[in-house]
Amino acid sequence: MILRQDWITPYIPAFHQPFLGKPPLSYWLTALSFMVFGCNEFSARFPNFIEGLLTLWFTFLVARKLFDRRTALLAPLILFSNLLFFVECGTVSMDMGVCLMTTASMWAYLCILKAARERRVWQRALYEILLGLWFGFGMLNKGPVSLVLFLGSIFLFGLFKRNLGLLFTPRWLIVLPVAAIVSLPWYLAMQQANPDFFNYFFVHEHFLRYLKSDYGDRYGAGHHQPYGMAWPFLLLSFLPWGVFLLPVGAWLKTLWHERGWRVPDSILLLSAWVIFTPIFFTFARSMLMPYLLTSFPPLAILCARLLSLEIHRLRNQTVPLRFSLLEPASCISWMAILTLLSGFGLALVYLKTFRLQMFGFIGYSLALLLSGIALWRTSARPVASRMGAGILLITLVFGLATSAWFAFLWQDRADTKSMKTVVALLKDKLPDYNQRETAFWAKTAPFSWYFYTQADTVNAVIAHQAKAPIIFPEPKEYETLPRGRRLLVVVTRGGLEGFRRKYPADAHTPLVSWGDYFIFDLPPL
């Protein structure tokens, strides 16, 4: 966008094809960050980090609306100590934006409920305008998915309450026009510039993508998953706090005896918010684990509520609830799960040896099995609140430490395999590399190649040191290299053997090699 000065139509990095798959809000924010901080990794990740902080803030506000101040303070701490949320705060993606829009919309909805109940006309109208703004931002961020996840959660809450009128508490004649004013101008301008946009974006990217594994994706392939994978993904992605979902049976049993199933409205709302996202993606043919981020704020609030109640019982020396997580054997199993997750579970991702990966998988599965047995055996034996509160607080600290460790491992992995180091080495070896034709001996060319090779050009344009952008020759993906040209050929580790077998005379020593990438400077074939 910065190089082309086209703020309507996003383009894939080769500049030759419009990208019709997503709206532009995240691209606008990233481009703005580049223009303020320069084109670098920090500025690329900065918008997602701000969205993560705003999500933590709105999580606090929602928890404060529903519960006490202690719960509201604990909720964002629990959310930020979640592994996936922690990592997503530093990535470049749209899923954190969806999580923010949904959480902010839920806060606006709760404010509308309170204002309507207290008959405060002007406050209600103000919050309805804010809800419309968040709807509009959601449409510009990733399309209708933010609206669907929010409205679906409210609809499910209405079913739980047997009052579907809750869905119509906001006056949609105010909310929807505001959303249209925010988002519709870009959609109309995009359709005018690209006549097939509406058909591809709404029909292919949303309707067919949900129903079919082969929906005609123009820009790669869908993320195919078996039906129902959203539920195990939710449990795994909310680690280390996902283990709190294990004693749900004991909690429901307690509610049965103490309240006769008179579940508070706040718990019903949070439960509907948690489960609608995995329900929605249960039948989706294309999904990724970060799609479930919208369930994380309500899950964090529920965990914070449990912890707040336990701290209250500790301070008042009352009889604790019979939560199985407060049993000694259960606590030991809980900490064992975290330890094995940190040590063995991450081996599934970071260790290259198949034996070590299997060892990690078996160890992690064994820990889950032993924990389940311990939870079952000790669920009826209460212990002192002091031990329970202590263990839960230790879990919070341990979760933060595990998240930090995960982030460092992620950075180490990036330094080992990233194209960043490859391009830096290439600049030293071949200063005129950007004037050479580049070929990728791979299925796809990594987008990071475009980022690191064109960062200097973007910075020059931002600083007004270049009137026209220098468009590098577009890298191509080959199975057979063209003859008569001098090429820089980027080969991944998996294709190295086949490349050397096909071009034995010219492919012995790479010009640059780092991690999983090897670059060969080939004379004309």
b/e per residue, 126-135, with b = 16+ CB within 10 A? Answer: ebbebbbbbb
Is the model more confident about 233 or about 443?
A: 233
- Whole-number pLDDT of residue 222: 59
Average pLDDT on 435-456 reads: 77
User: What is the number of other CB atoms lying within 10 angstroms of the CB of residue 251?
Assistant: 18
Q: Which residue has the tokens 């080939």?
A: 522
How would residue 191 be classed by pLDDT, with cut points 50, 70 and 90? very high
Q: Does 326 have pLDDT greater than 50? A: no
- Mean pLDDT for 42-49 is 89
Residue scoring higher pLDDT (333 or 186): 186
**CA dist., res. 241 & res. 257, Å (int):** 26
d(CA 340, CA 363): 7
Take residue 41 and report the two structure tokens written for it. 């990794």
Give percent of the chain above pLDDT 90: 25
314 or 130, higher pLDDT: 130
Highest mean pLDDT of the ranges 225-234, 250-259, 372-381: 225-234
C-alpha 302/C-alpha 274 separation (Å) is: 10
Percent with pLDDT over 70 in the chain: 66
- Say if CB 395 and CB 240 are below 8 A apart: yes
Retrieve residue 321's tokens. Answer: 């609830």
- 128, 175 Cβ separation under 8 angstroms: yes
> The dihedral of CA 40, 45, 50, 56: what is its sign?
negative
pLDDT band at 397 (very low <50, low <70, confident <90, very high): low
Q: Find the mean pLDDT for residues 386-415.
A: 49
How far apart, in whole angstroms, are the C-alpha atoms of residue 330 and residue 372? 8
- Give pLDDT tens digits for 468-498: 555 555 555 555 666 667 788 888 877 788 8
**What is the value of pTM for the model shown?**
0.78
Q: What is the pLDDT of residue 389?
A: 44
The stretch 413-442 carries a mean pLDDT of: 76
pLDDT tens by residue, 490-524: 888 777 888 887 776 666 688 888 877 888 887 77
Most confident of 66-70, 87-91, 364-368, 375-379: 66-70
Contact (Cβ atoms closer than 8 angstroms) between residue 113 and residue 161: no
Report the pLDDT averaged over residues 114-134.
Answer: 93
CA-based torsion, 377, 383, 385, 391: positive or negative? negative
DSSP state of 493: H
Query: Taking 60 as the threshold, does the pLDDT of residue 257 lie above it?
Result: no
3-state secondary structure of 95: helix
CA dihedral 296, 302, 303, 304 (to 10 degrees): 110
